Structure formats: C-alpha cells, structure tokens
Amino acid sequence: MSTDTSAVAERFTQLYGSEPEGVWAAPGRVNLIGEHTDYNDGFVMPFALPHKAVAAVSPRTDGLLRLHSDDVDAGVTELRVADLTPESDRGWTAYPSGVVWALREAGHEITGADIHLASTVPAGAGLSSSAALEVVVALALNDLFGLGLRGWQLARLCQRAENVYVGAPVGIMDQTASACCEEGHALFLDTRDLAQRQIPFDLAAEGLRLLVVDTQVKHSHSEGEYGKRRAGCERGAALLGVDALRDIAYEDLDASLARIDDEEIRRLVRHVVTEDERVERVVTLLEEGDPRAIGPVLYAGHASLRDDFKVSCPELDLVVETASDNDALGARMTGGGFGGSAIVLVEAEDVEPVTKAVEAAFAAAGFTAPRTFEAVPSAGARRLR
Ligand code: GLA
C-alpha cells in the first residue's frame, strides 16, 4: 500500500472530488522495554517506526463523516457525527470514528470530515497499527479545527476512543508513542503523569541494529487475556493498599510479595515491579552511552513476561531462544504479547546470521515464516502537507 503523500492525496481527490485540505502521518511503534506497565502507572520506553498511517483529510460543516481506507476492501463509509456512540460501529471505522466521538465528547466542535487513510503498519503484529490510525486522525482534526491540543492530550483522547468506543482496555503507551516520539530517540514515558524524556537512541552509530521479528501470529484474540492481566494487577494494587503497582518500590518487592497469598497475583506484581526497574536501568545505561549493556535487561524482561506475566507464546519464545543461541546481545517480545513481534538487539554483522537462524528455527518447528526488518527510531505524528 502506498503511503506516499501525493499518492494518498490523489486517491482522496478521486474519492471525494476535491483536493484534501492536508495530509498527516502517525507511526507505529516498538517498545524497547516496559511491557504491561502502562496500565499500572509505570514506565515505558517505546520508539516510533518508519511504518505509518497517513490520512488525507478535509473538514466538513454539515455533520457528515466520510471514511475510506485503502487497506480495507470496502467503499466509503458515511456516518453522522451526531449519531456516533460507543459500539455503534465495530469494524475498522471504529478507530477513526471513535476519535471523532472522543473529541466531541471532550467538548470540541467537530462538524464533520472527509478522511482517506492508508497505512504501512502491519495489523495484528503488535506494532500499534490501531494507535497510528487514531493518532493520525486526531492530529488532522486538531489542525483543521484549530483545537490547539498537545501531543499527549491527543494521545489521551485516542486512548479514550479505544477504551470506550472500540472497547479495548489498553493503556496509554501506544498512542503517546505515536503522537510524541522523535526521530533518533526512544521515549522514556512516565505513564502516571505523561512526563516525557527523549533518550538519544542511535544504534547504527554504535555499530548495532535492532531487528523486529513479526511472528505472523495475530494477537487480536487476546483482548480477554489482556483484560484479565489488567484486572489482576488492579487486585494486586488493592491488596497492597496502593493506587497502582507503580507505587511499590523495587526495594520493597519481597516484603510486598510476602503479603499476597494468591500465587497468580504474586507473579503479576513481580513482573510489573521488576519491569519498571528494568526500564529505569535501560535509561541509565543508554544515557551512560552503553547500549550493548541493555541486552541482558531485554532477555530478563522476556523471561519475566513469559514466566511471571504469561503473555508470551511458543513463536515469541523461539525467536528469543534462537537469538540467544546465536550471540544476539538481547531479545524480548514487544507489545501486548500472545503473538505479534519480538525485538532482537545485534551487532551489525550479526543481522544476517541471526535472521537466518530464526527463519531456520521457525521452519524446523513448522511455524509460519516470520517477517524480519530493521527498526530505525523514526519521527512521531506530523503534518506532511
Ligand atoms: C498493548 C497496549 C499497551 C500496553 C502493551 C503492553 O500494546 O495497547 O497499552 O499495555 O500492550 O505493554
């Protein structure tokens, strides 16, 4: 699918009969470290991919919302902004129309729009294709209707669209990553107050590469499991008398675990508290200029997600195991889990041998061939024209 700016604008003109008022982009992301911490008010560290959703948009004044996507084999969907209610639409259009709904709910006067979307973010790969769609629409409407909202505010509205309108109980990481990441940086984000620090993350300059391995296992059936983990974490926080697991200091972890009888809750708590500590460690290592040293932290993060949080799957584990057997510096699943993608940190000269080893291991296990690409920290959401 072409997300070339002129191509997307031309397609808009074909569909709607006049040129778009503008064209915007919002990227997918990978998360370097900090998994299942965002709905625990914890720390995350995503960076933006070059893969992006692009939207050509014109505002309307007659209350009509017209939506079209090149990635879905369907015509133009027509809705009335005044009629949008959660669960009123269920297909891909729920993402853009959910954003319009959330903006209007927040008191912003959105009087309609014509929207054409195209995306290169693979769906179901754990790379935030949904957040990219939401954020690109939010940013376009923010500009066209002069709302003056900042990136983090748009992210909050997009999260609300996804939580309430689409009905997926996700945290705030993906939308903030798409809205706020900067080229050449990873975003150290405190999900409690959305305080941000851009951490320089230029692996190529260090002779390193970060591979994304899409296992091709779609994670879309995982919402129930995701919600269960989230509820378990909330129970853990309640048992320990804190607002969120973020409030358990790493130093107090053992004492806190000793106060929980339920083995499952204990595992969830242990993952979240140790994962927050791993994010802080990775930030320190990167700021000290020692990117190779983050490798073991990535492996430790994977083990915790696999054994304590139990959100990995055989394909993700095989990527990480094979990476480790072939001298990768570090590897872990990224995103929500139950499929989707893993990341692998390697020396530049190891890209090919590690990629081949993972492919061979998948073939030997009888798994669908994975898709591997190099992730370069790219720009967050922006206007293209
Ligand atoms: C999904 C959610 C995020 C986050 C991750 C796990 O990507 O959308 O909010 O919870 O899972 O870290």
Q: What is the reported pLDDT for 240?
A: 98
123 & 207 share domain: no
Residues 222, 142 share a domain? no
As a whole number of angstroms, the distance between CA 250 and CA 172 comes to 23
Q: Which atom of ligand 1 has the smallest separation from the CA of 173?
A: 9
Residue-range definition of the domain harbouring residue 164: 5-198+379-383
- Check whether residue 112 and residue 207 sit in a common domain: no
Longest Cα–Cα distance of the chain, Å, equals: 66
In a domain, residue 315? The reply is yes
- Do 23 and 10 touch, CB atoms closer than 8 A? no
**pLDDT at position 33, please?**
98
What pLDDT score does 347 carry?
98
The reply to whether ligand 1 has any atom less than 6 angstroms from the CB of 301 is: no
Structural domains in the chain (count) = 2
Residue 13 lies in a domain: yes
Same domain? For 110 and 85 the reply is: yes
Could you tell me if 217 and 335 are in contact, meaning their C-beta atoms sit under 8 angstroms apart?
no
| pLDDT at position 305 | 98
* pLDDT tens profile 165-175: 999 999 999 99
The reply to whether 190 and 93 lie within a common domain is: yes
**What confidence score (pLDDT) does residue 108 get?**
98
Helix axes 173-180, 129-144, angle to 10 degrees: 50
Q: Is residue 84 part of a domain?
A: yes
- Pocket of ligand 1 contains residue 173 by CB under 6 Å: yes
pLDDT at residue 222 in the model:
56
Q: Confirm or reject: Cβ of 170 under 6 Å from ligand 1.
A: yes
Q: Tell whether 220 and 302 lie within a shared domain.
A: yes
CA–centroid distance, residue 149 to ligand 1 (Å): 23
Same domain, 297 and 190: no
Using the atom order of ligand 1, give the atom closest to the CA of residue 172.
Answer: 9
CATH number at residue 217: 3.30.70.890
Q: Of 189, 217, 186, 39, which is closest to residue 123 (Cα–Cα)?
A: 217
Tell me if 339 is assigned to some domain.
yes
Provide the whole-model pTM. 0.97
Which atom of ligand 1 is least distant from the CA of 44? 12
Ligand 1 atom 1: residue of nearest CA: 336
- 10 and 155 in one domain? yes
pLDDT reported for residue 72: 87
Low-confidence ranges of the chain (pLDDT < 70): 1, 220-222
Q: What is the pLDDT of residue 1?
A: 63
> Do 190 and 226 belong to one domain?
no
In the prediction, which pLDDT does 340 show?
97
- My answer on whether 191 and 319 are in the same domain is no
Regarding the beta carbon of 132 and ligand 1, being less than 6 Å apart is answered no
Residue 238 C-alpha from the chain's centroid: 27
**Active site residues per annotation:** 174
Task: Give the pLDDT score at 87.
Answer: 74
- Provide CB contacts within 8 A for 197, sequence distance 6+: 187, 188, 283
**What is the distance in A from the centroid of ligand 1 to the CA of 336?**
5
pLDDT digits (tens, 9 = 90+) for 18-69: 999 999 999 999 999 999 999 999 999 999 999 999 999 999 999 999 999 9
Residue with tokens 């690109």: 136
Question: Is 23 touching ligand 1 by the criterion CB < 6 Å?
Answer: no
Q: Is residue 116 part of a domain?
A: yes
Edge-to-edge strands, sheet with 46-59? 77-80, 64-69, 113-119, 46-59, 22-31, 382-383
Instruction: Identify whether residues 103 and 210 lie together within a single domain.
Output: no
Q: Is 174 in the pocket of ligand 1 (CB under 6 A)?
A: yes
Cα(87) to centroid of ligand 1, in Å?
A: 21
